[in-house]
Structure 1
Amino acid sequence: MAWTGLWMHRIAVSWLAWELTGSAFWVGVVAFCDLAPAVLVSPLAGAVADRADRVRMTMISQTVIGLNAALNATLVATGLMSIGTLLVLETVSGTAASFAQPARQSLMPGLVPRADLPAAVALNSLTFNVARFVGPALAAPIIAIAGVWPAIACNALAYLVATTTTPMLKITAEARRGHPATGSLFGEMIEGLTYAARHPGLGPILGFAAVSAILLRGVQEILPPFVERIFGRGAESLALLTASFGVGALIAGLAIAARGRIAGTTRLAVYGVLMLALATAGFAATGWFAFGIACAALMGAAGSVHGISVQTLAQNASDPSMRGRVLSTWGLITRACPALGALMLGASGEFFGLRWPTLIAVALSLLVVVWGVMRLGRIAEALEGPGIGASGR
């Protein structure tokens, strides 16, 4: 439910930024403020998640997100919202989300047996992408009929429900609580970053994911300018495109969940980016909305394959005492890198239009894919072996 509210919020805030400014650059800045706090916060949040009560940490973070959404909705409803205030509120929300992500995802090994972890990660992503479909489908008519603020208010309500139901989870004590503090929080943060960077599999796959996200994910963060400038459409079409991303991701997530094994996951992570690049090129190159929807669905599917695969590998290969910090690094990549890509794409779009900067980014991403394919065997060997995480490799 929280993720449904989140996607309603994202659609509403993105459209609000476009209404307030009419600028692709400012839409990109709003996305940046929501996602970029992960650069500073995620490593620290991962260290906290590895030494704190992760259920409590999740609840506190979700409470902040819900209260922030309630304030956002109130300001819009009373006509007091400005672009500056919106940037501040999205920064607060993004900071809280950066704490929630490693705490929540670190709980997963305590919910299912290790053998079921790939399917659990896939189903977690599946839930997120169902919300990615349902949220925009609900938000579009609400925005069209009642305006932006009710859609944002739904997010506040959704997070209230999520927070009050979190204690109902049955989680093993080992997964719920991190290890006792062994040093300073800053020292443990640096230790986690060093561990991920030096790992023969985690370092390359996370680096690959980061560069790919900067080059390709920005499109999905600043859809309103694409909808209006390239396709000549309005808020309803924005919701339809966002839902198309969700449908594609949902189908791909079901396939990954049914697959249920680690072997071959690294290959999926790399070739998922290739599919994402090709679909993004088709989306940016066309002015035909129906084809754009098809490309959006393929982009959602490819992004889901890549994201589920990398997260599964990170869960499998991480030492349990480092899991929160490794997953916080993954959270940094999924939030900060698309934010940087959105900012770069929005800024370049003001001068060169949206199409050519996107196609140039696609071309660069293909070079990244070539790099990944050339190192595929070595990365897979370090990430897919049985019991790697348990052994602390």
Structure 2
Amino acid sequence: MKMRSRLGPFAQSAFTVYWSGGLVSNIGTWLQNVAASVFVYDRTGSALAVGILNFAAFAPMLLFSVTGGVISDRFDRRTVIVVTHVVSFVISAALAVLTIAGAATELHVMATAFLLQVSWTLAKPSSSAMLPALMPRAQLREAVGLNTLQFMVAQLVGPVLATILLSTSGYGWAFSINALTFVGPIVAMAYLWSRGIGGRAPRDEGAAKEVQSVVAYVRTQPWIAWVLVGVVSTSAVLEMIRTIAPALVTTRLGVPSSDAGLVVAAASVGMVVGILASVPLGRRGYARALAPVGLVMQFVGLFALGATTDLVVAGTAVALAGCGFSFCFPVLTSTIQTEVPDAVRGRLLAFHQMAHLGNRPFAALAAGAIAASFGVTAACLGGMVLAPIGLVAVRAAWRGLDRQAEPVAAMARTSV
């Protein structure tokens, strides 16, 4: 019993299988992201083309997130995940075949990125919604944290794997292995199906009214909007770094474009370090201070990245920016989770997800355009603007929360 408590959610076999399948798939996703970026840059020599690729890879989230939510409520969630991952396997395998045959172009890669993201966007609500069914409610918070760690591990392993494959085997193998990783969630869903876990939830007929109530609530709590601005500011920095990575390593650092994966992996290392360092600091009461400190770290990291011509220094700078993200982002996220009523929390976290991921196509396009027109250094300087914006937003959010708390504190003193 003591060992099971130490394992936490991993003591639940359903969660372990679900988590493992997601890890395999996410490693493939990051392998594909890096390989596709390098492929497009090698074929075009244009950072703008890489920005267009990344725009295509994230735009579907803005277009199909609501559709994915509706599908999640109307159909068996395990079926949704299986169907979307089978489709993704076919799409990825087709690109691999074209690449091995020497017929793939940058347009094929961009179209594949768009279609794979459509599939992911339709599957993601079902994947997230089934999580509470896999473990006791008391372990849900820890499970969410483990899912975040899973994403970071995949973001670290995938780019390194891409670097190895591109240096030794080529694009065809990279795209082929990505196709195979879609089998992971399919196997996981088959296991859940055999256990009778993770099916469809009851349909919520009051969804439209709930959205209206959330909008009204946000209007009375302007600090929420400031938190979302902070989320955009800290998230966009990492997308800009991923976009300019191929141009950075070739034009500034003088190393092969395949080393772009090392730059992206450095951000993941920094993120993991940041998560581990922020936990004890948060427990000591420094949680609020972590957000502005993280934004300053990203500012310094981008400045150093734009100034250096050394791969080690560049990796350290990117790791600093990743660490800054892990200082800032969890604080802003947990603020929404703890400071809003349960009745509107889910919808507000949906807006939070849009702020976190929805900015990526635009950040990628902006970074690519600036790098193509004015160089990588200019793109880094442009990204530095996000830190002051985030600092203003965080300060406004904390002030709004403090003003909201003052009447409550005064009422408590009066009652005493």
Q: TM-score, normalised by structure 1?
A: 0.82
Match of 1:370 among 392, 398, 406: 392
Q: Give the Å deviation of 1:18.
A: 0.7
1:59-111 deviation line (CA, Å, top 9, x unaligned): 33333333222122112111221222222211111112222333323334444
The answer as to whether partners of 1:120 and 1:257 remain within 8 angstroms in 2 is: no
> Which amino acid is the alignment partner of residue 324 of structure 2?
A
- Give the corresponding residue for 1:234: 256
Relative distance call for 1:236 and 1:361 in structure 2 (3 A) is closer
Distance 1:79 1:307, change over 3 A: farther
What is residue 149 of structure 2 aligned with on the other side? 126
Match of 1:281 among 300, 303, 314: 303
Instruction: State which of 355, 359, 366 in structure 2 corresponds to 1:337.
Output: 359
Q: What SS is found at the alignment partner of 2:42?
A: helix
Tell me what 1:355 maps to: 377
Q: What CA distance in whole angstroms lies between the structure 2 residues aligned with 1:189 and 1:71? A: 42
2:231 pairs, out of 209, 216, 220, with 209
Equivalent residue letter for 2:248: F
Change (3 A) 1:221 1:177: farther
The secondary structure found in structure 1 opposite 2:260 is: helix
Are residues 282 and 178 of structure 1, via their aligned partners in 2, closer, same or farther at CA, if it must alter by over 3 Å?
Answer: farther
Correspondences of 1:1-393 after superposition (within 5 Å): 1-49=24-72, 52-112=75-135, 116-169=139-192, 177-182=200-205, 187=208, 191=212, 194=215, 197-198=218-219, 200=221, 202-214=224-236, 217-255=239-277, 268-313=290-335, 325-379=347-401
- Give the deviation of 1:270 after TM superposition: 4.9
Give the direction of change, closer, same or farther, for the CA distance of 1:308–1:372 in structure 2 (3 Å limit): closer
Contact 1:196 1:202 (8 Å CA) reproduced: no
Per the alignment, residue 391 of structure 1 pairs with none
SS in 1 for 2:254: coil
Letter in 2 for 1:56: T
**Which residue in 1 is equivalent to 2:6?**
none
Q: Deviations over 1:138-157 (max 9, x none)?
A: 22221112211211111111
Q: Are the structure 2 counterparts of residues 48 and 376 from structure 1 closer, same or farther at C-alpha, using a change threshold of 3 Å?
A: farther
Equivalent residue for 1:390? none
Whichever of the two has the greater Rg, that structure is 2
| Alpha-carbon distance in 2 for matches of 1:319, 1:215 | 30
Question: 1:245 and 1:310, CA in 2 relative to 1: closer, same or farther beyond 3 A?
Answer: same
**Residue equivalent to 1:389:** none
Secondary structure (helix, strand or coil) at the match of 1:232 reads coil
Asked if 1 retains the 8 angstrom alpha-carbon contact of 2:218 and 2:224, the reply is yes
| Bigger relative contact order, structure 1 or 2 (CA pairs below 8 A, ≥6 apart) | 1
Report Cα offsets for 1:155-202 as digits up to 9, x if no partner: 1111112222134359x999864442416x8x4795487378547364
Is the contact made by 2:271 and 2:322 (CA closer than 8 Å) also made in structure 1? Answer: yes
Q: Percent identity?
A: 24
What is the alpha-carbon distance in structure 1 between the residues aligned to residue 220 and residue 89 of structure 2? 37
C-alpha displacement of 1:278: 2.3
Alpha-carbon contact 1:192-1:325 (below 8 Å) kept: no
The amino acid of 1:123's aligned partner reads L
Residue 259 of structure 1, CA deviation = 7.8
Provide closer, same or farther for how the CA distance between residues 357 and 238 of structure 1 changes in structure 2, counting only shifts above 3 A.
closer
Q: What one-letter code is carried by the residue in structure 2 that aligns with 1:126? A: L
Aligned to 2:18: none
Say if 2:234 and 2:325, in contact at 8 Å, map to a contact too. no
Range that drifts further, 261-270 or 141-150: 261-270
Tell me how large the CA RMSD over aligned residues is.
3.6
In the superposition, relative to structure 1, how do residues 117 and 264 fare at CA in structure 2: closer, same or farther (>3 Å)? farther
Contact conserved, 1:102 with 1:324, CA < 8 A, in 2? no
Q: Which amino acid counterpart does residue 317 of structure 2 have in structure 1?
A: C
CA distance in 2, matches of 1:82, 1:31: 16
Distance in 2 between the 1:318 and 1:203 partners?
13
Unpaired segments of 5 or more residues in structure 1?
384-393
SS for the counterpart of 1:36 is helix
Q: Secondary structure at the match of 1:81?
A: coil
1:132 CA displacement: 1.7
Letter in 1 for 2:263: L
1:92 counterpart letter in structure 2: L
Q: For the residues of structure 2 that align with 1:274 and 1:331, how far apart are their CA atoms?
A: 23
Q: SS of the counterpart of 1:222?
A: helix
- Contact 1:267-1:376 at 8 Å conserved across structures: no
Distance in 1 (CA, whole Å) between partners of 2:69 and 2:402 is 24
**1:37 aligned counterpart, secondary structure:** helix
The CA deviation at 1:374 is: 3.4
Cα–Cα, structure 1 residues 199 and 266, in superposed 2: closer, same or farther, change >3 Å?
farther
Deviation at 1:116, TM superposition (A): 4.4
| Aligned residue identity for 1:245 | A
Q: TM-score, normalised by structure 2?
A: 0.78
Distance 1:360 1:19, change over 3 A: closer
Q: CA deviation at 1:225?
A: 0.9
- Deviation of 1:136 (Å): 2.1
